[in-house]
Amino acid sequence: MSDNGKAPAEVTTDRQGYSPDLLTPRDMLRAAAVLGDVLGERSPYDMFTDDLERAPFIIWCLRSRTDPSFTWEDALDTPYLGEFEIGDSRPPQTAPSPTPSPPGSSASGGSKRKPSEPAPEPSSASSSA
């Protein structure tokens, strides 16, 4: 939530596709407890202001959730892309909404239609009673 009490309109991501919004308060508490020597007097949230430490910090937070032996040094040696590529940071493309047809016009509006199979020709023999 923002200061005005409303949810942010969109989640921002950095170049690598990481989003700090994917982290949880538990990640910050774990970082404060485990990364004391890396953080020094800083808060875990301060790691987001340093361009050189932001990506390794996010990598460490995400990976250490399931692997407690994952160290800060391991995070520094992890490539940005690959296992930690979360997704495309571009918004998904949506098809434009169809334009309503003016009244009195056909819905197809002269658009190309798939050719249908030819109708069976009527037989020349007729049935009589």
- 31-59 confidence digits (pLDDT tens): 999 999 999 999 999 999 988 999 999 99
Task: Say how many domains are in the chain.
Answer: 1
Domain that holds residue 24: 20-76
**Phi and psi (nearest 5°) for 111?**
-75, 160
**Which contacts of 33-42 are long-range, i.e. CB under 8 A and separated by 24 or more positions?**
34/64, 35/60, 35/72, 38/72
* Cβ atoms < 10 Å from Cβ of 55: 20
Cβ atoms within 10 Å of 73's Cβ, excluding its own: 11
Per the domain annotation, does 90 fall within a domain?
no
DSSP state letter for 102: P
Does 50 map to a domain? Answer: yes
pLDDT at 50: 86
Closest-CA residue to 45 (of 60, 59, 27):
27
- Helix (H) and strand (E) counts in the chain: 4, 0
Residue 96 lies in a domain: no
Residue 44 placed within a domain: yes
Distance of CA 113 to the CA centre of its chain: 36
Asked if the structure places residue 32 within a domain, the reply is yes
Task: Kindly state whether residue 87 falls inside one of the protein's structural domains.
Answer: no
Q: Give CA–CA dist 24/22, Å, rounded.
A: 7
Any domain includes 36:
yes
> For 77-109, what is each residue's pLDDT tens digit?
998 765 555 555 445 555 555 666 666 655 555
Tell me the CA distances in angstroms from 103 to 25, 100, 107, 112, one per residue in order: 56, 9, 10, 20
Residue 66 lies in a domain: yes
Quick one: pLDDT at residue 2?
Answer: 47
What was the pLDDT predicted at 71? 96
Considering 6-10, 61-65, 92-96, the range whose residues carry the highest mean pLDDT is 61-65
